[in-house]
Amino acid sequence: MTAAHTPTIVEHAQLYIGGQWIDASGSDSIEVVNASTEEVMGRIPEGTAADVDRAVEAARAAFDSWSQTRLAERVELCTAISLRLQDRQEEIAALISQELGSPIKVSMMVQAGLPVMDFGSMAHLVEHIPWEQQIGNSLVVREPIGVVGAITPWNYPLHQIAAKVAPAMTAGCTVVLKPSEVTPLNAFVLAEIMDEVGVPAGVFNLVTGYGPVVGEAIAGHPGVDMVSFTGSTRAGRRVSEVASATVKKVALELGGKSPNVILDDADMEAAVVNGIKKCYLNSGQTCSALTRMLVPREQLELVEQIAAAALAQTPVGEPFDETTALGPLVSDVQRERVRSYIEKGVEEGAKLVAGGAEAPEGLERGFYVQPTVFSDVTPEMTIAREEIFGPVLAIMPYDDEDDAVRIANDTEYGLAGGVYSGSEERAKAVARRIRTGQIEINGAAFNPLAPFGGYKQSGTGRELGPYGIEEFLTLKSMQL
């Protein structure tokens, strides 16, 4: 399999609104670029505010009947969608590996695999929701919040869509989706599946376009009852601002600058190698990536040696090469952004242990950057404070446990984190002091059924598991 996996350009000329494929109100289109070849691989409609109006109208028309549909029927449709996603898993993985540059192994397991679970898990998760509770003379019921506007990012494109759409539909909400215009082709596969399995017209609507046009139209629309947004903190602030005019619920999953605290009693080699993998997943284009590695000052030199050796065993290459660990970044814009941060790190005096701003040798075509490690990074440096969204690790020394916790919490973000120690109890004690929405102990695996979301400017609300369904429910008290 090669990077030019699809020889023809994937053309989508219509939007999916009200259960039909219809022309966009305008005639402009958006080009989708293959991350490893820099060639146009697809085109999608450039939607407008008028298209959002049509989609919201369809979603509102469908809400009354969908919200009253039996829960079991809604779950059955999610299960049917999951099975069709599984049938097309290889196709979806190949598509995302081209759009995004994710290595095919990662695309199969994560990019195409997680959406199967997102929809398939609904049958199990609804059993954990307290749909009705008796409190005194009141019957407290949970009901769907209404029409949901879902605005999703490019880095885990179909998973982030499924993590909103599956629980929203299960809750009884109808959805207007705007996927990222950078990696949108996989969303059309989902729309095709929705149509195939018989999701009622208007329950799921797809409008593609740019954030300042389609995204803002969704966020500010009086017919949208809730906006669920995943993306940058800057864009999340704008969504909140626009949505506030209509006083709708807003759920935000935003940026991170997550600390990975390696304590002095840890197996240093195991901890550092695991930490690098957690930083570089998806070429570092992961909001919960462990990008700040906090290590005992007296072991800084040893950590640098381990990190340099680990990088030498981290091959960068074409996504369809089975040996590739890191593919390209998603776009030229993202590549230049990451390179500018690497240059800033050098300018501000961080120690460059490995990597650099130049393109990896032999990979001048495609949006590739070298995996990079900085050491002796101090908390005030730009690379310690701002989300880079690329394969750049900042190693930061600390003096004692209290100092490590202080540095870990010295950030506007609070999305994820890690603690590594020879003692699980000690690691958990430190983890409780770190202000972050999820934290892994000794390299433990990500759990897609546990709540995902952040503290501080990493957002509001939670996705995944039963908590993800509850985000799309609202409470009613019936006094009896």
Q: Which residues are catalytic?
A: 253, 287
Q: At what angle do helices 424-431 and 401-409 cross, to 10 degrees?
A: 40
Per DSSP, helices labelled H in 108-231 are 113-120, 122-125, 157-171, 185-197, 216-220
Phi and psi at 268, nearest 5°, equal: -65, -40
The token pair that represents 379 in the structure block: 């908390």
Residue carrying the six token digits 């640098």: 304
Could you give the CA distance from residue 16 to residue 20 in angstroms, rounded to a whole number? 6
The token pair that represents 64 in the structure block: 């009354």
Could you give the CA distance from residue 181 to residue 157 in angstroms, rounded to a whole number? 10
The token pair that represents 5 in the structure block: 């996996």
Which sign, positive or negative, has the C-alpha torsion 455, 382, 270, 101?
Answer: positive
Spatial CB neighbours of 21, under 8 Å, sequence gap ≥ 6: 14, 15
Could you give the CA distance from residue 83 to residue 398 in angstroms, rounded to a whole number? 49
Give me the half-sphere count of Cα atoms (radius 13 Å) on the Cβ side of residue 450.
10
Size of the chain, expressed as the number of residues it contains: 480
| Cα end-to-end distance, the chain, whole Å | 65
Spatial CB neighbours of 364, under 8 Å, sequence gap ≥ 6: none
Residue 158: closest CA among 77, 85, 105: 85
DSSP string computed for 231-243: S-HHHHHHHHHHH
Adjacency order of strands within the sheet including 249-253? 20-23, 14-17, 204-206, 174-178, 147-151, 226-230, 249-253, 459-460
Residue carrying the six token digits 């880079």: 388
Residue carrying the six token digits 């090669």: 2
Query: CA 471 → CA 126, 225, 438, distances in Å?
Result: 13, 12, 17
Could you give the CA distance from residue 442 to residue 268 in angstroms, rounded to a whole number? 11
Cβ-based neighbour number of residue 312 at 10 Å = 9
Residue carrying the six token digits 């298209």: 51
**Which pairing describes strands 40-45 and 10-11: parallel, antiparallel, or unpaired?**
parallel
